[in-house]
Amino acid sequence: SQQGEEDPQALSIQEGENATMNCSYKTSINNLQWYRQNSGRGLVHLILIRSNEREKHSGRLRVTLDTSKKSSSLLITASRAADTASYFCATRERGSTLGRLYFGRGTQLTVWP
């Protein structure tokens, strides 16, 4: 399967702690994206990192990419109860011209007040 794999499947932390989620993939990529999904809703795009980038920040989010290991991590700092959601990584294959993304199975993050 070309699907990415997130690790862990579920993560439970207290407010104020940092949350780290990992994603591994199999093919050469053009970019890797992280999405968030609140319960019963659609996915929302969080951040995109290109294959020639190693780290990217957006507010409390920090994403790293290691193309040699075919892996990425998403760090949420100083987590809040409102960060409770499922988080998915998605990859765009190198050379793809049709815009298709391959999604992982997601990490369910629960942040307790």
Please identify which residue in 11, 25, 33, 76 interacts with another protein, judged by CB under 8 A.
33
Binding mask of the shown chain, residues 35 to 74, with x at each position contacting another protein by CB under 8 A? -----xxxxxx--x-x------------------------
Dihedral sign computed on CA atoms, order 48, 27, 70, 35: positive
**CB 73 to another protein: min, Å:** 18
Based on DSSP, count helices (H) and strands (E) in the chain, helices before strands.
0, 11
The answer to whether 87 contacts another protein (rule: CB under 8 A) is no
